[in-house]
Amino acid sequence: MLGIESSCDEMAAAIVRGGREILSSVVASQTLVHQPYGGVVPELASRDHVRAVSGVAERALEDAGLKLEELVGVAVTAGPGLMGSLLVGLSFAKALAYRAGLPLVAVHHLAGHLVAAELADASLRPPYVGLVVSGGHTALYRVSEEAEPALLGQTRDDAVGEAFDKVSKLLGLGFPGGPAVSQCAESGDPKAVDFPRPMERKGGLDFSYSGLKTAVLLEVERRGGTDAMSQADIADVAASFEAAAVDSLVRQAGRALRRESLGRIAVVGGVAANNLLRERMRAKGERDGFSVAFPPPDLCTDNAVMIAAAGARLLARGECESLELSAFSRVPVGEAPWRAPVGVGGE
């Protein structure tokens, strides 16, 4: 199965055999494209995807040692994501499926992330709690064998990855924000600033990060701005922010596991590569008696391996789309507004 992923600022293609064996994985990053702006510029992202998509798919085939006619299908991210970026990958996948007479499979981006955890840990099997943490998503799901992932809680405002990006820009640390903040925080004191833990006193499973971002802004202003702060001061603020952001994720994950009476959790998405999150989630698992699965870092960020693997599962159930398939920028997991009559190669 060939997978195509282009929901944001990575253009990726991968080939997976049997739903689990990774034969190739190619990712064209746009870090240098967006770095001057401190965040992803949608128009630039889609334009760069147009430039890269054909070469990325061709290299995925070459790395796997396969020809187009040896594929069983083409899986592509249909949503959610940036509409311009999604349409580039989708248009290419539709054209390729039509050209080769292959089934076209639509994959939900977040469902792909959840599959990435199972690829990395062969012992992980539903039911379990899935925590999706990235630049655009922060949500908890109950993952079951017999049904689509069920939403348990999600951010009420900003995603945790977006908060890392904004705090990084505020502190002058660069883009992408997650790695920049974490690297700076290594030399800081996570207890230097008592930032609020979002949703700590509320009983649900939702998240919130806008208030934490505001608290960081006010702290920086209180200190006279970054120009008046030493590198040690900036490191302390970065470390204190990272600790507060991670503590919120760990706490809500524990609540979800208790409420659902489950003993395992998979943490996926770009922020799942964060070392502090891995350390504190595993430590809580040891204390509370639950197991934690993290994909390797290259399967945490957006990639096409997860799309190919998820697509293989859908195709095995007979789910594929006609060439009328459309992209959707917003769509809950478990819903398929792109669903069209089943067809192979547009028939």
pLDDT at position 94 over 90: yes
Burial class (CB in 10 A: 0-12, 13-18, 19+), 134: buried
pLDDT of 346 higher than 60: no
Q: Alpha helices of the chain — where are they, by DSSP H?
A: 31-34, 42-64, 83-100, 109-120, 160-171, 177-185, 210-222, 231-260, 275-288, 297-300, 305-316
pLDDT at site 17: 96
**Residue 339 pLDDT grade (very low, low, confident, very high; cuts 50, 70, 90):** low
Task: Give the whole-number percent of the chain exceeding pLDDT 90.
Answer: 81
Q: Does position 99 have pLDDT exceeding 80, yes or no?
A: yes
Indicate the length of the chain as a whole number: 347
pLDDT tens for each residue of 280-289: 999 999 999 9
Instruction: Report the SS3 class of residue 186.
Output: coil
Contact, 161 vs 178, CB < 8 A? yes
Question: Comparing C-alpha atoms, which of 93, 148, 160 is closest to residue 323?
Answer: 93
Kind of pairing between the strands at 138-143 and 291-293: unpaired
3-class DSSP assignment, residue 151: strand
Percent of the chain clearing pLDDT 70 (strictly above) = 96
Domains of the chain (ranges, CATH numbers): 2-112+302-316 (3.30.420.40), 122-299 (3.30.420.40)
Would you place residue 168 in the very low, low, confident or very high pLDDT band (cuts 50, 70, 90)?
very high
Strand partners, 326: none
User: Distance from CA of residue 299 to its chain's centroid?
Assistant: 9
Task: For the sheet with 291-293, list strands across it.
Answer: 150-154, 138-143, 128-133, 264-268, 291-293
Burial (CB < 10 A; 0-12, 13-18, 19+), residue 17, is: middle
Q: Give the model's confidence band at 35: pLDDT under 50 very low, under 70 low, under 90 confident, else very high.
A: confident
- Coil, strand or helix at 294: coil
Mean pLDDT of the chain: 93
CA distances from 291 to 80, 130, 131, 244, 254 (A): 29, 12, 13, 22, 11
Q: How far apart are CA 328 and CA 107, in angstroms?
A: 11
Instruction: For residue 146, give the amino acid letter.
Output: E
CA distance 137 to 300: 13
